[in-house]
Chain A
Amino acid sequence: MSSFRRYLLVLCLLAIATSVYIPLKWGLPYPKAPGPKLGASLVAQYKNELNKSGADLALIGDSVLFHGVIPDQMAALTGRKIYKFGVPGTASAAWYLMLKNVIAAAAHKPRYLVVTFRDTILTVPDYRVNGKYLNLVSRFATSKEPLFIQRSFIQQMSPVEQLADQYLPIYGSRLLARDKLNYFIRYSLPAVFGCNAKCTDKANIIVFRDNNLGQNSLTNAAASAEAYLYTPDRLDFSRQLDQSFLPEMVRIARENKIQLILVRTKHLNAASEKSESAALKNYIQALKTYAAQNNVIVLDFAYDKRLTRKLYYDNYHTTMAGAVVFTKILSEALLPIINK
């Protein structure tokens, strides 16, 4: 046991040393508030864009929306000004912040807000918020976002993690520390050959472009990430609802007289409605019931036969031809709502 005692002693010394060094070096409070430090915000810029657009109908969503809806075509089909806020890599936390800080806070508020989603993503508050996603979500955040921090981070931590996050700076600042370590590891050798960090990042983007990656590889990677949305807990709507941002989104939309329209998009992981699991069926039914009770409209395109396999370039994203078809279908479904 003497070896363990020695190990414990050195470990304690290191923990103390890092607990002094990290707050001093990176200017962090001790103990720090639980949850991460947010990155740079672009809320003001987005609000300006929305005001300038004068849009009557806004759409928010992730890469599925980014690739799947053509604003000009939709404007022509609906006769309304459109503002598309499709940001690849976002999920419900970012969409909540977009609604709260940009759409509801802009001088010009759209009358209709379409949120595109797939399956359970609306009620999984910690999906796509960690690692590099944090900087992306931070773009839509203000300096203080207690609900976002609570639901996306603190709520997901065990009591031990919460304590470590506050009182053990090496744990609480691990993302920053890892970034710095990675910076050294990834950029040092290319720098020796005259390629700095910016040049290495550019090389990364060029080499790993989607069209350089095999279809299987992309599909597997996406499916493995999305598996998080289909665990038994995540498929339990009543359990997830109060932990999610959905009730807040409904409230903000209602208070700002914005008609919220949830649009369930199609993906190709499940071949047909018949093969949809009972748990997912129950989830979607519960979501629709909740939406109906709260004056929220749900449009479900998950098994729309007009969106054929050929219109997709992977299991989630439409081709250009697919975008034309989906924009038309969505516009046709929206027309009766906005012409009421």
Chain B
Amino acid sequence: MSFTSLTFVGFLLIVLALYWLARRQAWQNIILLAASYIFYGWLNPWYGVLLGLSSAADFFIALGIARYRNRSRALLTLSLLLNLGVLAFFKYYDFFNVGLVAQLAKVGVHADVFLVSILLPAGLSFYTLRKLAYILDVSRGAFQPVENFVDFSLYVSFFPQIVAGPIERIQKLLPQIQLPRTWKPEFFSAAWPLLVMGVFKKVVVADTISAVVDRIFGMQSPSKALVLAAVLGFTLQILADFSGYTDMARGIALLFGFETSENFNKPYLALTPSDFWNRWHITLSNFLRDYIFFPLRRALLKKRTLPAWLVQAIPPLVTMFVSGLWHGAGWTYLLWGIYYGVLIVIYQSSGIQVNWQQSNKLKVLIAWLVMFSLIVFGWFLFRAPSIAWAGQVLFQAAWLTKPQDAIIALMMLAMAAVYSFPLILKMLLDRFSKPGSWWLAAYFAVITIVTIVYINSSNPDFIYFQF
């Protein structure tokens, strides 16, 4: 069930009505939990079963950790094995399996990829991190285990966030789950701009741009000019897609009276790689910082035998490697993660830290241009279908293989420019106009009209390439 589908709108209205009619907080939580499982199991009921079983396991493991402190290490290991095992099985099984199938094919054994492939349950990476953060906090005594199974299950499965985050920490969501909630008009006032903006970003910007971007990245040997234009398009697409989804998730959560975390803070205005990760997918960055970067750094600092440069370099490299691994099962994601790790190390060693500021505006402009180019190059690695493909584009492809490449590159650039304009305008309006002003009202009304123009029918509008 997609947030932008009519089915979801119907589902949301029914759940909202039931939720606010049930005035008791316990009933509200049960309704939300049931809705979350219906939402999650809509695509495949087995996903719901997996979610339920893994939530129950972590609920009881956390209680065990608090009760039997002498066995907490073993229980923590069990939880890590369970969570990371499930994640590795579903997320990386296909990755290695396809490799295995390819090797078997070379020796004449034709295994059927279609039969043995395993569908990755949507949102598994997101809710696994939420559960891991909880277990780690309980094991180090930073958080008392939740004793109410409904509350804990709701924290894990809260449907606005389950598919693509934000990766909310239990310290923020649980107190809200446990408090009584009554309807306030402020919920709607805060929610509607997020919902309007989120749908616009997804339906108008991301989905439209992706049609051309996907085609260029689907080419066997495109020219550099085409890829450059496509990467710029993808830079816009991924921001619009992901931040649009987050906007909708936050807006929907607000309609139920929950305040959730921001995930994006003008990431393309970052001046350094660390700054970028403080602005992009913020909840993931926070998780990686708190559970990988800081503990690793502390551990390395204790080992006084290591040279200082290694103590500085290892934590960002490992953290960004894990980030790449988390993003997907593919060598390109790993390379992308390592690329950011290396960038952070280079910036740090040259004295440009996360909060680097300059009074000289020209220097700031140059720093921004450099960082933006590095971000765009990062997306090239991220979106490339394979490392071999990326290498071919970088080292072998011509800038233009035929004159028509330039035309398509220009078309792609025009699309990127036009579709990024509303997002830039919104940024300027947020900065220079008052909240609730007529300017903002007009902006939201215009983008609503544009969204109506871009709404697709219920069936796929897909144009097969041959056609």
Contacts and interface: CB of A to CB of B under 8 A. Distances in A.
Contacts of A156: 457-459
B405 to A, nearest CB: 6
A143 interface: no
Given A14-B445, A171-B452, A206-B402, A213 B220 contact: yes
B322 interface: no
Nearest to B454: A178
A208 B215 contact: yes
B95 interface: no
Contacts of A170: 449, 452-453
B98 to A, nearest CB: 11
Interface in B214-251: 214-215, 217-222, 226
Question: Which of B114, B222, B467 gathers the greatest number of chain A CB atoms within 10 Å?
Answer: B467
A210 B112 CA distance: 26
Interface size on B, as a range, is 35 or more
A89 B464 contact: yes
A178 B404 contact: no
B385 A208 contact: no
Contact of A3 (B441, B455, B456): B441
B415 A271 contact: no
B414 interface: yes
Contacts, number: 182
Given A1-B189, A189-B410, A133 B463 contact: yes
A157 B455 CA distance: 13
A156 B418 CA distance: 32
B407 A190 contact: yes
A221 B462 contact: yes
Contacts of B414: 185-186, 188-190
A217 B217 CA distance: 8
Contacts of A222: 464
B6 interface: yes
Contact of B459 (A1, A217, A228): A228
Given A130-B456, A156-B459, A174-B455, A7 B218 contact: no
A221 B385 CA distance: 14
B454 A174 contact: yes
B448 interface: yes
B102 to A, nearest CB: 13
Contact of B411 (A136, A157, A186): A186
Contact of B448 (A11, A214, A270): A11
15 contacts: A3-B441, A4-B192, A63-B467, A126-B458, A130-B457, A131-B463, A157-B457, A161-B6, A168-B452, A185-B418, A189-B413, A208-B219, A212-B220, A221-B218, A228-B459
